[in-house]
Amino acid sequence: MGETHLPSVTIAAVERGETVYARGFGMRDVERSLPATPRTRYGIGSVTKSFTCVALLQLQEQGRLRLDDPVEDYLPVTVRPFGEPIRLHHFMTHSSGIPALAYAEAIIRHGSGASDRYLPMGGYDDMLTFLNGSGEWVYARPGERWFYLNEGYVLLGAVIERVSGESYTDYVHNHILGPLRMTRTSFIADAADDEDTAVPYVITKDKEQRPSRYLNGRLTSDGGLISSVDDMTAYLKMFLGDGRANATPVLSPASLEAMLGRYVALPQETYPGSDPTPVGHYGYGLNTYPDFFGHTLAGHGGAVLVSTAHLAFIPERTMGVVVLANGTGYALQHVASFALATMLGEDPWSVPGLRAERALQQLEGRYETYQGTYGAIVSRAGDFLTLKIENKLLSQTVPLVPVDLNPARPRFFTLALGRRLIVDFHVRAEGIEVIYERYRMRRVGNI
| Amino acid occupying residue 435 | I
What's residue 109's pLDDT? Answer: 79
Peptide bond into 272 cis (omega under 30): yes
Give the mean pLDDT of 261-268. Answer: 92
pLDDT band at 296 (very low <50, low <70, confident <90, very high): very high
Alpha helices in 274-364 (DSSP H): 332-344, 352-363
Q: Is residue 1 part of a domain?
A: no
Q: Is residue 355 part of a domain?
A: no
Give the mean pLDDT of 148-175. Answer: 96
Q: Is residue 288 part of a domain?
A: yes
What's residue 352's pLDDT? Answer: 87
What's residue 273's pLDDT? Answer: 53
Contact residues for 294 (Cβ-Cβ < 8 A; gap 6+): none
Lowest mean pLDDT across 147-161, 384-398, 426-440: 384-398
Is residue 141's pLDDT more than 80? yes
What's residue 272's pLDDT? Answer: 55
- pLDDT tens across 195-211, in order? 899 999 999 989 999 99
Distance CA 113, CA 211 (A): 11
Is residue 217's pLDDT more than 90? no
> What count of other Cβ atoms lies within 10 Å of the Cβ of residue 307?
25
What's residue 277's pLDDT? Answer: 62
Is residue 274's pLDDT more than 90? no
pTM recorded for the entire structure: 0.92
Does 292 lie in the same domain as 156? yes
Does 286 lie in the same domain as 418? no
Percent pLDDT > 70 in the chain is 97
- pLDDT tens across 316-374, in order? 999 999 999 999 989 999 999 999 999 999 999 999 889 999 999 999 999 999 999 99
Q: 216 or 377: whose pLDDT is higher?
A: 377
**At 339, which CATH number?**
3.40.710.10
pLDDT band at 276 (very low <50, low <70, confident <90, very high): low
User: Residue 336's Cα: distance from chain center in Å?
Assistant: 11
Q: How many distinct structural domains can be found in the chain?
A: 2
For residue 421, the enclosing domain spans 363-445
User: Residue 23's Cα: distance from chain center in Å?
Assistant: 21
Does 320 lie in the same domain as 188? yes
Does 268 lie in the same domain as 405? no
What's residue 372's pLDDT? Answer: 93
Q: Is residue 313 part of a domain?
A: yes
